[in-house]
Amino acid sequence: MSEHDLIVIGGGAAGLVTSAGAAGLGARVALVEQARLGGECLWNGCVPSKALIACGRAANDARTASRFGVHTGDVKIDFARVLEWVREAQRRIEPHDSPDRFRSLGVDVIAGTARFTGERTVQVDGRTLRAKRIVVATGSKPAVPPIDGLSEVPFLTNETIFSLEHQPRTLLILGAGPIGLELAQAFARLGTTVRVLESGAHLLPREDHELAELLGARLAAEGVEITLDAKVERVSHRDGTIRLDAKRGDGTGVTAEGDALLVATGRASNVASLDLALAGVATGPQGVVVDDRLRTTAAGVWAAGDVTGGLRFTHVADYQARLVLRNAFFPLSSAADYRVVPWVTFTDPELAHVGLTEREARDRHGDSVRIWRRPFDDMDRAIADDHPHGMVKLVTDRKGKLLGGHVLGYGAGSLIGEITLAMKQGVSAAVLGNTIHAYPTYPEAIKQSAEGYVKSRFTGPVRTVVRWMVRR
Ligand SMILES: Cc1cc2nc3c(=O)[nH]c(=O)nc-3n(C[C@H](O)[C@H](O)[C@H](O)COP(=O)(O)OP(=O)(O)OC[C@H]3O[C@@H](n4cnc5c(N)ncnc54)[C@H](O)[C@@H]3O)c2cc1C
């Protein structure tokens, strides 16, 4: 039996941040990982998808460079090299998350699958570990919907698509969420024909609908075929061809055929192998049940990251891990606050989100909601670069308090940082609109959309007084 101050189960973003932080505080930490440290983000998620997106962007840039007078000739895709780049990106990042690094920080890294055998007791391949505090950070896996015939078809998920041996000629994708759409565009740019089928009425349903629809139009213009309101009822496979049979809301049928199928219909928490009930840890439809302090239903057991459901992002896993550290080791625990959490869909153009969408704001704040837009198509820098697609959309109340910010456009993932900081610090649209931004840059679009609010105050008595002053 080994005694530690803290056992962390799972070595993805949440588990790594918890382990490194606790070791830094001087705790004796055991980190148990059944596969590879780095988790979903490094091996099957953020890193390989962004590396593949970079390959697709390079192909698209080369193909469209002639508008700048730069002629590259026929663009040829070496798919083996594309996947080699994906692996190279992973190899370059892996040392940050390696067992050697964590051992050098003082963490006891244990390879194997952990399961609870009782309160604060965990077993890993026959070895028993005990600690006063345990953190469950076992992440999530692809949720595969119960569709007739799907289990008999060799479908791909994010766990297998980055190790394909051949580039699909036609890739069918189930699900128009962020994973489905990022990969749809990347594969299409690399020369695969892509068809996306989505059962819902909207793509990216958590996003501001106006911007999500503009993004859908951009993807369609690039040749990604997206069919909404198409509920796949049967999947079949014959002579290397996969066929989807779907029904639309009006009863009409849709079929699609391809040589590969990616299932990207959501995520399910990894709880099955943990025997959580033996430790008194309750689970629900979203995964491990936690309160706002990330405590589970068992004393001394916390959970962080994707396994808790909610916002499944690496930066949220990181935030929760830091909160768990604080709450597990120090008095006066703190509650999680998810009001200002940015996230990004890494399509081109990118779609970035923080706070409330227009619809959410109207549901909560009614008529006091104001919307301020600044399209990119007549911004000087966007014109010069030929990145005219998208806009900054700010959602405020009538006093200019920022309720949400949404950016569709080139570099949106970076632009959202300014709006995030403004919201976090209570900076109003008036202050954003009066802040000098460098010319010509994309963040000017944030200032200019906020100026919409500043100008809106130039009415009534203010306008009358100003008129009098300038004309006297
Ligand atoms: C295709 C894709 C793209 C993504 N892109 C982004 C992005 O661009 N930005 C972003 O913020 N997020 C992105 N995400 C989400 C991000 O990957 C996750 O939110 C993040 O990895 C969650 O970290 P985690 O530590 O909670 O879980 P994980 O990273 O899943 O780590 C959990 C670890 O626990 C281990 N484990 C499970 N059960 C046990 C057990 N019983 N014993 C021992 N070990 C166990 C697993 O092997 C795994 O290594 C993406 C996800 C996908 C699938």
pLDDT tens-digit map of 286-337:
999 999 999 999 999 999 999 999 999 999 999 999 999 999 999 999 999 9
358 CA → ligand 1 middle, Å: 30
CA 169 – ligand 1 centroid, Å:
29
Question: Given this model, what pLDDT does residue 472 score?
Answer: 87
Q: Best mutation site among 129, 307, 313 for ligand 1, i.e. most ligand atoms within 8 A of its Cβ?
A: 313
- Ramachandran angles phi, psi of 447, nearest 5°: -60, -45
Confidence (pLDDT) at 209:
97
| Residues in the chain where the model's pLDDT stays below 70 | 1-2
pTM for the model stands at 0.97
Ligand 1: which atom is nearest the Cα of residue 35? 47
- 3-state helix, strand, coil split of the chain in percent (to 5) is 40, 25, 35
In this prediction, residue 1 carries a pLDDT of: 67
The predicted pLDDT at position 218 comes to 98
For the Cβ of 35 lying below 6 angstroms from any atom of ligand 1, the answer is yes
DSSP class of residue 306 equals G
Query: What is the whole-number distance in angstroms between the Cα of residue 274 and the centre of ligand 1?
Result: 16
CB pairs under 8 A, 24+ apart, for 119-126?
119/279, 119/280, 119/298, 119/299, 119/300, 120/279, 120/300, 120/301, 121/279, 122/7, 122/9, 122/32, 124/32
Gap from CA of 449 to ligand 1 centroid (Å): 36
The Cα–Cα gap between 372 and 448 comes to 9
307 φ, ψ (degrees, to nearest 5): -65, -20
DSSP H helical ranges for 199-304: 209-221
| Residue to mutate (ligand 1; options 43, 53, 138; most atoms within 8 A of CB) | 138
Q: Is the CB of 46 under 6 A from ligand 1?
A: yes
Q: How deeply is 229 buried, as exposed, middle or buried, from its count of CB atoms within 10 A (0-12, 13-18, 19+)? A: middle
Q: pLDDT tens-digit profile of 99-143? A: 999 999 999 999 999 999 999 999 999 999 999 999 999 999 999
CB distance 404 to 419 below 8 Å: no
465 phi/psi in degrees, rounded to 5: -65, -45
Q: Ligand 1 in contact with 276 (CB < 6 A)?
A: no
Nearest CA to ligand 1 atom 45: 10
The residues that bridge with 3 in the sheet, in sequence order, are 130
CA separation, residue 173 to residues 62, 157, 164, 169 (Å): 26, 10, 15, 13
Q: Are 274 and 188 in contact (CB under 8 A)?
A: no
312 lines ligand 1 (CB under 6 A): yes
Residue 41 CA to ligand 1 centre (angstroms): 5
Atom of ligand 1 nearest to the CA of 304: 26
What residues have CB less than 8 Å from 267, skipping those under 6 apart?
A: 140, 141, 142, 143, 306, 312
Angle (CA) 198 358 319, round 5°: 80
Residue 347 half-sphere exposure toward CB, CA atoms < 13 A:
33
**Token pair of 372 as six digits:** 């301020």
Residue 12 Cβ contacting ligand 1 at under 6 Å:
yes
CB 442 within 8 A of CB 379: yes
Q: Which residue lies with its CA nearest to atom 31 of ligand 1? A: 12
Of 32, 37, 44, 46, best ligand 1 pocket probe by most atoms within 8 Å of the beta carbon:
46
Does the beta carbon of 40 sit less than 6 angstroms from any atom of ligand 1? Answer: yes
- Residue whose CA is closest, atom 5 of ligand 1? 46
Nearest CA to ligand 1 atom 38: 138
Ligand 1 centre distance from Cα of residue 38 (Å)? 8
Residue 40 Cα to ligand 1 middle (Å): 3
What is the CA(303)–ligand 1 centre distance, in A? 13
Most ligand 1 atoms within 8 A of CB, residue of 17, 18, 41 to mutate: 41
133 CB neighbour count, 10 Å cutoff: 23
Tell me, using a 6 A CB cutoff, whether residue 107 lines ligand 1.
no
